[in-house]
Every structure is written in C-alpha cells, then in structure tokens.
Chain A
Amino acid sequence: MSSEPKQDTSASTALDRSDVRVKHQAGVGGAISAFFDRVRSGDLGSLPVIVGLVIIWSVFTALNPVFVSSSNLVNLLFDCSTVGVIALGIVCVLMVGEIDLSVGSISGFASAMVGTLWVNQGWPVALAIVAALAVGGFIGALYALLFNRLGMPSFVSTLAGLLAVLGLQLYILGSTGSINLPYGSNLVNFGQLLVMPDWLSYALAAVPGIVMLITGLRTVSRRRAVNLSAPSVGGLIVRVAALTILLELIVGYLNQARGIPWMFGLFVGLVVAMNYALTRTQWGRSMTAVGGNREAARRAGIKVRSIYLSAFVMCSMFAALGGVLSAARLASASQQAGTGDVNLNAIAAAVIGGTSLFGGRGSAYSALLGIIVIQSIASGLTLLDLSSSLRYMITGAVLAIAVIVDSLARRSRVSHGRA
C-alpha cells in the first residue's frame, strides 16, 4: 500500500493512540469518568452485585445485628464454599451459552458415592473422592456427546440427567437412605472446623495485591518499551493499596472469630485458577468465542466440539467436588443431598455475579460474588427465623431481578455498540 503506516514517528504518540477520534482517559479522574461511561452503556461488570450486597447486608444487620458478627460471617464462608464450587462449574457452561440443570443431582450423587465407597466399602477417602470426580466428569462427557453428536439441547439432556442421576443417588444409598461420615476424620474436619492460622490468612490476603502490582508494572514497562500506551502507575498503586487494605481488614475482622476456613481457601483458589484459565489462556479465549459466535469460532479453526466437551466435563466435575464438600460440611451423605434449592442456588449465584445466560460474557469471580449474595440471604433469613417457604420466595425474586438486570444491560450494550 502506498500510504505510510499510521505509526507515528514522534515518540510522544503511542502506536495505539494515533487515531484522534477515540477518547482516551488519563489519570484517576479519567478512570472514574470512563467507569461511569461503561456503566451507562450497560457494561455493568460486578456493580449490581456489589450494590445488591450492600443493600442485603444493611437490611439484615438492621433486623438482626448478629448477622454481621464475625462468627456468623465465618459460618457464611463455610456454607459458601460448597455451592460456590458448583456455581464455578455453572460459569463454565454459561460461558459457552449452555446450561446444566443437573448439578444438584450430580453433587448429591457424588456425596453418596463418597459415603458408600469410603464408609461402607472401606476405600481410602482420597480414592473415593477421585472416583466421585471421575464419575462426575463422565456424566459431563455424556451431556457433551448428546449435545455434539445428536444436537440435543443441553437444557433437555441435563433435565433428563437431573432425574436419572437422582435415581442413581437413591439407588446407591439403598434403603438406609443416609450414611454418616465419621466425626474427627480429616474430610469432616475440613468441612466443619479447619481454619487457617492467623499469620497465614494475613499473608495470603496480601498476595493478590502483590501479584497485581508485579504483573501491572511488568505490563506497563513492556508496553512502554514497544511504544504502546500504558496505564498510569499511580492508578495501579492506588488500586493495589485499596485492595490490600480491604482484604486485610476483612481477614482481621474474621480472625476475631474462628478465622478463614480452609474450605473457603480452596474455593477461592479454584476461582482464581479458573479466572486465569478463562482470561489468560487460549482455552478461555475459545470458550468466550464459542459463547459469543459459535460459527465464527468454528471458522477460525477452533475445535468447537472439544470446547463444549471441556465445558460440560468441568461443570460436572465441579458439581461433584461441591457435593463432596457439602458431604464434609454436613458430615453425612443423604437422600436429601443436592436436592431442593442447590441446583438453582448454583445457577443463580453465577447469574447474579454477572455471568450472562446468553453466553460469551462472564467471569469466574461471578461465582464467588454471587454465592456470597445467595448465602447472605439464606443466612439472614435463617437468623430472622423465617420459614423455608419465605426463603424460597425471596431467593426466587432475587434470581428474577438478577436475570432482568442481565437482559436490560445486554439490550443497552447492543444499542451502545458494546458486546
């Protein structure tokens, strides 16, 4: 082409800032106004969930001050971890625009398997857990097979799976109906008692800030080196400081009671790993692409079927892991495990946290934020001594509101030219 590349020769203009038509925000004020622009155009991110959380916590604290006591919050974290892990799996399938309605049944089946194999058959506990995860993965692979080869909508296949797997759960539990896991065993301690030592929790709370600072500084220097615009270092430091102070305060408050549960640590670790996989790897990019435009992804040479397979398998395995954790939490594997509201709580958590039901948008952190909202409601209503009838109605209403916000934000994004 005859015209020169627009790459500016003057060192002052970065390669990606040579087009004068684009607004580029600089500094802290710019970051704030860019944030409001984003929100106005429907790119809400985690904003609704944080606003919702503030409202929910204020209301419950006003009604019963015990709600924000550190001991109640520690219990909340224990409860979050089980369904939260299942919600993380739901994020996987929602990313590719599919759904798994059988996660509750799979979690119940996994807890029944651990109970049967470990307590009744005398297998080592680790082997029983691995077996449960493997069977979970197998069920996911089956859904993927039905979806990829037979074109069966995941909505239907997993609805069938919900019943079938529940049947399996009842079958292996047999006539006794429930198996108690031994108190004092490592698994039950992990689910009910084990918390991090104070020093470790303080140290871990500092890790995100340090990682953010290091990677941020490295990105800035790399971008500057190749003449691309870079975010300001000052803003980065402000964000890192705010995040670290916030996390240390939370940890300090929770350490007044028992401390941070190891089980919650496992959950957060999985969330962070999944976030990395979704945002920083080719697999995650492919997941987003398949959820956004399946045909475009296929034509770009992405193995779309493998992506669906990985999404379904991961979802079912996370569901199975969640089932094992809830068995540990309750110290039993029963016919009730995984039934009732587990399914919808997991899906609601992912959606409330900001993962779109329409595919192609979402983040692993939505499972974390969403499950805290759901469990806060459950915990608050329990403290108020409300019946489960009201609890179901309120949780249902919150889910409906979350989906409405998602749909409205999506419409707004389309009209503002954002994906």
Chain B
Amino acid sequence: MSDISDGPVSAGELVLSLRGISKNFGAVSALTDIDLDVHAGEVVALVGDNGAGKSTLVKILAGVHQPSSGTIDFRGKQVTMPDPSAALTLGIATVFQDLALCENLDVVANIFLGKELNPLRLDEVAMEIRAWTLLNELSARIPSVREAVASLSGGQRQTVAIARSLLLDPKVILLDEPTAALGVAQTAEVLNLIDRVRERGLGVLMISHNMEDVRAVADRIVVLRLGRNNGVFEPDASNQELVSAITGAANNAVSRRAERRKAAQAQSQEQRP
C-alpha cells in the first residue's frame, strides 16, 4: 500500500479511476456502470438532477458505502475502501453535503477530529495554530476557534468542513455541494480555493447544482442521469447541451425557456437597423 500513497503526484497523472461502479439499495439501483476519471490538477464537476446518484457516488469514494460491483483504481492500483478512514489514508478527503461536524466540539477539535496531534497528551496550542493557519488561508470568517460548532452559521460550518478536508494534504478532494449554503463572497472564496487546490496538483471532484459555479471552475463536466453516465462536456458546452444531458431530453422546460429568450433576442436584433 505504501507505494501508492507515497511520493508526489506528477502533473496530469490519473489519480482516481472508476470502472463499472454499481450500487444497489435493495431493489433500487442507485448507480449503474459508472465510469469516471479524475486526473491530478483537474477539477471534475459532477452534475445531475436530484436522485441522479451524485451523492451516492461520493459516499462510495469516501468509503461510507461500498459499491455492489465495479473497481476503483487509485494512482494505478486497484483499491477497496471498507471504511472512511481507509479513504482518508489513501489520500481521498471528502466534504459532505451534511458537513458531518460534531456540534458539541469546538472548531479546533472538529478540524483535527480523528487526527489529533500527540494522541496521549493533546497539543492544543499547536492544533489551534494550525487551525488558524488553515482558516486564514481560506480567508475564513470564523469568530473564534474555541466556540462549539453549534454556534456557527451554515457558511462558517462549510468553511470548517473544507479546512478539515485539507488538513491531511490529500491527493483528491471530493466536494459535495460546496457552495450550496454560502453567500456571494464566500462562494467566490470557495471557488478561488478550488482553483488553488488544483494549482497545488490535487484532483478535485465537485458536485454542484449551480451551472455558473461549475462552468467557472471545472475542467470537465460529467453528467449523471438516473444512476448512469450521460455524457462528458467541456466547460464551454452550451447550457442547453448540459441541461438536456441532465434532464435527458432536448425538449424540456429549461430548454424551451432558453429558446424563447434566444428567439426574442434574435428578433430584437433583427428589428435593430
């Protein structure tokens, strides 16, 4: 195992590769034959309608669920992740949509949860310093790292969760709806952060419903529909292409609306001398 996680990732290396991943919950197939690649220094956006299987896929990669079939290759070697700590050890860090923070612990304790410095005599000062460094790198607006997480707002919690995922210098980071709970400025900060994480040579897999955010940072856009792959797009793909891949029809409410607007625009341009 050590030969996998050791050593720096070379630029453009294929770090994470899924082949034929399926996941069944009883009679329901949440995922069927999913293929997905994430390279180092690349932001892959995973989009899809509600129930398309995005969160299930992320949970499989985080070791929370195990796939019913299919293989996961991490840096060229086939791996299994029986539990979340296995994924963390490999270098796959995850920020879950529900953030998974312990409300009764303070910010420092949450950031270092499970990876405390000096297990037999916790080094609170060193942990607090590192926590502030991480949070400041994110330009985070956290009033105090010694307050319980229960007293933080949704955006602040998101920041804590992202800071926590960066603690272990992961190779791949999974973000499940990272900007959903954030304000305008914080969304921009998180997108900046994603850019910087990419520059550091990490692979980023990001789930988002927000097409604007996706287009702003993604290098590739992978569309899931009803638990299956439904196309890979460049960020300059048109909204209509994306939406039709997501909803599964060229003729849908979103595209009709877009066409109407386009037609209206064309008309107004024609009318202009």
Contacts and interface: CB of A to CB of B under 8 A. Distances in A.
Interface of A: 1-3, 5-7, 15-16, 19, 21-22, 219, 222-223, 226, 228, 280-283, 285-286, 288-289, 291-293, 295-303, 360-361, 413-414, 417-419
A413 B121 CA distance: 29
Given A285-B116, A299-B64, A417-B150, A223 B125 contact: yes
Q: Which 4 A-B pairs have the closest CB atoms?
A: A301-B85, A282-B119, A292-B104, A419-B148
Contacts of B154: none
A360 B113 contact: no
Contacts of A223: 125
Given A15-B132, A281-B120, 17 more contacts: A6-B136, A16-B146, A22-B144, A288-B102, A288-B104, A293-B100, A293-B101, A293-B102, A296-B101, A300-B114, A301-B88, A301-B89, A302-B113, A360-B104, A413-B150, A419-B149, A419-B150
B203 to A, nearest CB: 20
A226 B133 CA distance: 12
A7 B113 contact: no
Nearest to B190: A1
Contacts of B5: none
Given A1-B193, A5-B136, A292-B104, A298 B84 contact: yes
B105 interface: yes
Contacts of A293: 100-104
B128 A296 contact: no
A286 B100 CA distance: 14
A303 B113 contact: no
Interface residues of B, number: 49
Interface of B: 62, 64, 83-85, 88-89, 94, 96, 99-105, 109, 113-116, 119-122, 125, 128-129, 132-133, 136-139, 141-146, 148-151, 164, 189, 192-193, 196
Given A19-B141, A19-B143, A282-B119, A301 B104 contact: no
B147 to A, nearest CB: 8
A223 B127 CA distance: 12
Q: Which of B96, B104, B109, B119 has the most CB of A within 10 A?
A: B104
Contacts of B148: 418-419
Nearest to A218: B125
A310 B208 CA distance: 40
Contact of A289 (B102, B143, B151): B102
Contacts of A295: 100
A226 B131 CA distance: 13
9 contacts: A21-B143, A282-B120, A286-B114, A291-B104, A292-B102, A293-B100, A296-B113, A300-B114, A301-B89
Contacts of A300: 84, 100, 113-115, 164
Q: Which of A1, A15, A16, A281 has the most CB of B within 10 A?
A: A1
B114 A302 contact: yes
A360 B149 CA distance: 13
Contacts of B62: 299
Contacts of A5: 133, 136-137, 139
B183 to A, nearest CB: 15
A419 B149 CA distance: 7
A303 B88 CA distance: 13
A228 B121 CA distance: 20
Contact of B121 (A19, A280, A288): A280
Contacts of A418: 148, 150-151
A219 B126 CA distance: 11
Nearest to B151: A417
Contacts of A2: 192
Contacts of A360: 102, 104
Nearest to A414: B150
A362 to B, nearest CB: 10
B85 A19 contact: no
Nearest to B89: A301
Nearest to B101: A296
B166 to A, nearest CB: 12
A150 B66 CA distance: 20
Contact of B137 (A1, A291, A301, A414): A1
Nearest to B87: A301
A298 B88 CA distance: 12
A1 B138 contact: yes
